Amino acid sequence: MFRNQYDTDVTTWSPAGRLFQVEYAMEAVKQGSAAIGLRSKTHIVLGCVNKANSELSSHQKKIFKVDDHIGVAIAGLTADGRVLSRYMRNECINYSFTYESPLPVGRLVVQLADKAQVCTQRSWKRPYGVGLLVAGLDESGAHLYYNCPSGNYFEYQAFAIGSRSQAAKTYLERKFENFTDASRDDLVKDAIMAIRETLQGETLKSSVCTIAVVGVGEPFHILDQATVQQMIDAFEIVGEQEAPDAAAGQEASAEPEPEPEQGAAAGEGVAPMDI
Amino acid sequence: MPKQQANWSPYDNNGGSCVAVAGADYCVIAADTRMSTGYNILTRDYSKICKLADKCVMASSGFQADVKALQKHLAARHLIYQHQHNKQMSCPAMAQLLSNTLYYKRFFPYYSFNVLGGLDNEGKGCVFTYDAVGSYEKVGYSSQGSGSTLIMPFLDNQLKSPSPLLLPVQDAVTPLAEAEAVDLVKTVFASASERDIYTGDKLEIVVINADGIGREYMDLRKD
């Protein structure tokens, strides 16, 4: 990304029809540590890589419970993520209070997207620098959404955001057709494997990653470290034997759900925020 | 023309009685299940007891619409607390929250007479008793509602601790065992149902102890 004279203000268009401040906000998401999400018909699993600043400090919280049926994983400016989680929790509580029923996930992500859009059209505000993977269960089934700083949102079968997420996405693209009917445990396993891809060589242990699950009959909760370590140990040996099968050739093209690649290179005509 | 008075009241009294008794490691909260208006019965099967947190239960008599609104309000606040603190609210914390919530509507009160019962942070039973605008006190036992004038003197007779000025210092919580306390509560409601027309039908008893929350029912006079 190069500096230019149209990027000072979020309310200034470039001649090519882009809002650079919004694109820079999306860059912030790509710099954050990875978060992944995948879903079946009945369960959604969120996972994230925990990066601590130093050995002395604690990990940043990147997965938040929003309600019994909704959880969110973030990548980017975690402070912005915390604030948005608080907003989401509030909306869920207010809806429950008024209607005595859980807030449908689709409604929540639209409210979140509208909130993000406001920040792209006010000169005294800045876009939120955080991408959110919203996992939720409602009457219409299991859902996984991705909310951008641009105010766009998309539904996914599986997705990954943050640094080195491309590796996880490649893994997910290979496997996603099995997810719809996968069992809960297989889904968690796939989540852990996807996280392993982003670590690229670093040892995978439960202190480095966080996994959360929500599903039918299972309120949103974060799995404790012992359980996660057990699952890692169980398949670590088996996992090594799985040769990354590039021959499968299931790259994104007429898929039932949109699974776009990372943005086209900045210099080209396509504005990344169209994704 | 003389000043006109409102001939409509925003309040109604749905009657009923509530009792709570604190023990060394348990708490008993009980209320009848009759909901009435005037001289009529609306239903014989309405619960006045609400679980606010893992170790905290509230029983309220008075205007049940206000009671319901109050319960929902507290439940929402408890959710927020759990999100922020990653744990359940303790009974004393909930007691203060209830008091603040009631006083917030000091000039249009919740017509709700509450007793809060549960276990404190050390696992000891505690009971808090309130008026409609949030004045509260931690006590060993209490009753509220239409039958409280009949029930309270009897509880005083059975459970009142000797003066705190006497040594050795006695605990406010009753030395009774859990089963004895439940029995006492049943006796108390059976007596109240005899003379209070608004108390009767069924008694709901909730017991909180280290094992969790248990519930039982007992039939009362239906007249």
Per-residue pLDDT of chain A (275 residues; tens, 9 = 90+): 566 888 898 999 999 999 999 999 999 999 999 999 999 999 999 999 987 778 888 888 899 999 999 999 999 999 999 999 999 999 999 999 999 999 999 999 999 999 999 999 999 999 999 999 999 999 999 999 999 999 999 999 999 999 999 999 999 999 999 999 999 999 999 999 999 999 888 888 888 899 999 999 999 999 999 999 999 888 775 555 444 443 333 443 333 344 344 333 333 344 444 33
> Cβ of B83 and A65 within 8 Å?
yes
State yes or no: pLDDT of B118 exceeds 80: yes
Q: Using H for helix, E for strand and C for coil, what is the string for B78-99?
A: HHHHHHHHCCCCCHHHHHHHHH
Query: What SS3 class is residue B154?
Result: helix
In this prediction, residue A267 carries a pLDDT of: 39
In chain A, the residue whose alpha carbon lies closest to the alpha carbon of B82 is A65
B31–chain A nearest CA distance, Å: 25
> Cβ of A93 and B72 within 8 Å?
no
> Cβ of B76 and A89 within 8 Å?
no
Confidence of residue B171 (pLDDT cuts 50, 70, 90): low
In this prediction, residue A23 carries a pLDDT of: 94
Which one of B72, B74, B78, B79 makes the best mutation probe of the A interface by having the most chain A beta carbons within 10 Å? B79
pLDDT tens-digit series, residues B135-158: 999 999 999 999 999 999 999 999
Task: Provide the total of helices (H) and of strands (E) in chain A, helices listed first.
Answer: 6, 10
pLDDT tens-digit series, residues B3-21: 988 889 999 999 999 999 9
Query: Rounded to an integer, what distance in angstroms lies between the CA atom of residue B22 and that of residue A40?
Result: 48
In chain B, the residue whose alpha carbon lies closest to the alpha carbon of A83 is B84
Cβ atoms of B25 and B125 within 8 Å: the answer is: yes
Under 8 Å CB-to-CB from A13, ≥6 apart: which residues? A6, A19
In chain B, the residue whose alpha carbon lies closest to the alpha carbon of A94 is B76
Which one of B70, B74, B83 makes the best mutation probe of the A interface by having the most chain A beta carbons within 10 Å? B83
- Amino acid making up residue A125: K
Query: Which stretch of A54-68, B35-49, B201-215 has the lowest confidence by average pLDDT?
Result: A54-68
Which one of A61, A93, A222 makes the best mutation probe of the B interface by having the most chain B beta carbons within 10 Å? A93
Confidence of residue B184 (pLDDT cuts 50, 70, 90): very high
Query: Rounded to an integer, what distance in angstroms lies between the CA atom of residue B21 and that of residue B17?
Result: 14
In chain A, the residue whose alpha carbon lies closest to the alpha carbon of B72 is A97
CB contacts of B76 in chain A (<8 Å) are 93-94, 96-97
B124: left (phi over 0), alpha (psi -120 to 50) or beta: beta
In this prediction, residue B160 carries a pLDDT of: 81
Closest to A132 (Cα-Cα) out of A189, A84, A167: A84
- A194: burial class by Cβ within 10 Å (0-12, 13-18, 19+)? buried
Confidence of residue B191 (pLDDT cuts 50, 70, 90): very high
In this prediction, residue A264 carries a pLDDT of: 36
Q: Residues of B near A (CB-CB distance < 8 A)?
A: 72, 76, 79-80, 83
ipTM exceeding cut-off 0.90 for this assembly: no
B3: left (phi over 0), alpha (psi -120 to 50) or beta: beta
Query: Rounded to an integer, what distance in angstroms lies between the CA atom of residue A36 and that of residue A196?
Result: 11
> Cβ of A96 and B76 within 8 Å?
yes
B188–chain A nearest CA distance, Å: 35
B206–chain A nearest CA distance, Å: 24
With tokens 């925003």, the residue in question is B10
- A267/B206: higher pLDDT: B206
State yes or no: pLDDT of B162 exceeds 80: no
CB contacts of B79 in chain A (<8 Å) are 89, 93
Closest by Cβ to B72, choosing from A86, A89, A97: A97
Closest to B14 (Cα-Cα) out of B47, B45, B37: B37
CB contacts of B72 in chain A (<8 Å) are 97
Q: How many beta-carbon pairs below 8 A join chains A and B?
A: 13
In chain A, the residue whose alpha carbon lies closest to the alpha carbon of B74 is A97
Which one of A95, A97, A101 makes the best mutation probe of the B interface by having the most chain B beta carbons within 10 Å? A97
